[in-house]
Amino acid sequence: MGRRPLPRGLARVVWRQAADIVARLLRADGARRGGASVKSLTLRDGIAAKKATHAVVCECLKHVPLLREVLDDARVPLTEDAEEDGDDEEEEEEEEEEERRRARGGGADATSSRDADADDERTRRRGVPRSAAYVLTYELLFGAGLPDDAEEEEEEATRRRRPPDVVADVVAARATLIAGYRDALTRSLRTRLRRAKASSVEAYLRALPGGDLVASVSTHSRHARVNVLKISVADAMKRLSRLSPALGAFEYHADPHVPNLVVAPPGTDLHAHAMVKRGELILQGKSSCFPAVALGARAGWHVVDACAAPGNKVRSIHWFPYDRVGETTHVAAVVGAGGRVFAFDADRARLRRLKANVASAGAGEIVVARCEDFLSVDVNDPEYAEVRAVLLDPSCSGSGTSGTRGDYLLAAARGDVVGGSGADVAGGSGADVAPPDARVAALAAFQTKALLHALSFPSAERVSYSTCSVHALENERVVKTVAPRALELGYTLEKALPAWHRRGLESESAGLEAIGGAECLVRADQREDDCEGFFVAVFARPPPPGAAERAAAAKAKREAEAEAAREKREARAAKKRARSDGSEGVVAVGGSGGGGGGKKKKKKKGAKSKPGRLFK
């Protein structure tokens, strides 16, 4: 058996959630629609026991090729998953009839007994939905297990005593049916392994197309950036060192390539850590820290974060890194309180989330978040005259994050070579595994427009371009496409992150020599570099002519406007104080409880109060 068993009630919830997610993923994959990833579905809001659900979904998908054969061999009655999310019409009608029958039923014990029997009978008659069968069979053969006969009898007695629960009873009935085929499934598994001459299940899976790549997907270390806007690195290290394990301490060391980055062992769960909750540590992947480090902005600079969160024009085909907001707050930490970061996003909901995360990180006074498409920003607006650097991390195919997102699991589930759909696990440093499709081509066109726009800010001296893609079409070829215009504007490629070992593709070096060469570019391999796949290019030039004058004029105007605003606030405050001082001698005649109407009279100076009368 695998994991430690969950409490039975929670286990049913996990099985149901996992089956729904597996069905959705396989349905979308079969239609080649793409869409949500394993990670986004298992860790979204509303999912109970996220860690357990994520583990079951990943392992189930990994074993689907074997589970499919074993279920067929054992002749387990199956039904295909519904075409759309939720139950199909027939099942909905049966459940509605079930509810009506239960409402007409007699006592609780008798009703629960009939309900349990009815659920079991219906499951036997209709069969188990295929994805639910995958999840439950995985649990039976490789996971935490399903109830045995004695546990099933006890469970059955419990079901008969408690109030009816349609969903739980359906899951329990499906688990009972699968458990009833325990011997047949076990025999089928042994037969399959023997015929394949596989010494273990792992060996069987490795022999499948792409199996070696699935087995070799690495688990990355856990990275967290010290947020210097809230705590110094020295204080953070001291605090981490003295925390007891009960308070959330963990083994850690400093990253050799990214300043202020803490590295913890793979699997370390830091989400509930006190320093994370206080915004002193920000959970961020190592490679997503590269753009802010390579950009080379300095304290007090004004920076444009061009695509701070999802929401640009071709949003439906975009992939945005899960820790994209971390880049915004990272740049804010670099420029500090005297600097400014202009962050753009065209989606209001995501912009609100961006603002909330920025405030939590203590960067609310630094980051100016705007609901605007970056491509529509007027680069000649005087407000941006002081912008000296632009960070562009646009939407991309996300093929460098396929290991984290679980794309390789879907490839394994359908029996394809991992990476055959373009989201390859192995291709972090190699050429595209398959020719990029129309989706990637559309993304590359958008990325080229965005990069040309970023290079056009008149006072900018540095521009970083990055993606979490392995495709040369989105990386080196975008740089080659903009190279002529960049050279016209005085830009050349700077060697980004000089200490990093993996550089741009040599096969794509032709056309890059004039602007600096592939050696200036950075690539990260998600299988070999303990981080997600990434690409970074940095364009740099001397301060352009007139930039200092424009910046000085813009700064003088900004300071004058700030001074005028301060004087206006002080005038309003003085006026408010004057009104308050003028009403000090006013007394109320008549209480709130009696008559008098609450009128106010000014008390004459030196006037004596008349003595009150005790009796009339």
Active site residues per annotation: 468
Q: Is residue 350 a contact partner of residue 309, using CB atoms and an 8 Å limit?
A: yes
Q: Left, alpha or beta for 135 (phi > 0: left; psi -120 to 50: alpha)?
A: alpha
Q: Is residue 497 a contact partner of residue 261, using CB atoms and an 8 Å limit?
A: no
Buried residues in 249-269 as b, exposed as e (16+ CB within 10 A): ebebeebebbebbbbbeeeee
- The partner residues of 601 in beta bridges, in order of sequence, read 587
Q: Which residue has the tokens 């320093």?
A: 275
Nearest CA to 513 out of 482, 480, 477 is that of 480
Q: DSSP labels for 51-64?
A: HHHHHHHHHHHHHH
Helix (H) or strand (E) holding 392: strand 387-392
CA distances from 163 to 155, 159, 368 (A): 14, 8, 54
The single-letter DSSP state of residue 208 is S
Binding-site residues: 307-313, 345, 373, 393
Binding-site residues for S-adenosyl-L-methionine: 307-313, 345, 373, 393
Q: Is residue 115 a contact partner of residue 100, using CB atoms and an 8 Å limit?
A: no
Q: Which residue has the tokens 């593709």?
A: 505
Cβ atoms within 10 Å of 449's Cβ, excluding its own: 15
Q: Is residue 389 a contact partner of residue 303, using CB atoms and an 8 Å limit?
A: yes
- How far apart are alpha carbons 486 and 492 in whole angstroms? 7
- How far apart are alpha carbons 11 and 143 in whole angstroms? 12
Q: Is residue 446 a contact partner of residue 372, using CB atoms and an 8 Å limit?
A: no
Q: How open is the CA angle 419-140-13, to the nearest 5 degrees?
A: 85
- How far apart are alpha carbons 513 and 511 in whole angstroms? 6
Per-residue three-class SS string for 500-522? CCCECCHHHCCCCHHHCCHHHCE
- The partner residues of 162 in beta bridges, in order of sequence, read none
615, burial (CB in 10 Å: exposed 0-12, middle 13-18, buried 19+): exposed
Q: Left, alpha or beta for 49 (phi > 0: left; psi -120 to 50: alpha)?
A: left
Helix axes 108-126, 149-161, angle to 10 degrees: 130
Strands (E), 393-527: 462-467, 492-494, 522-524
The single-letter DSSP state of residue 400 is G
Residues sharing a CB contact under 8 Å with residue 352, sequence separation 6 or more, in sequence order: none
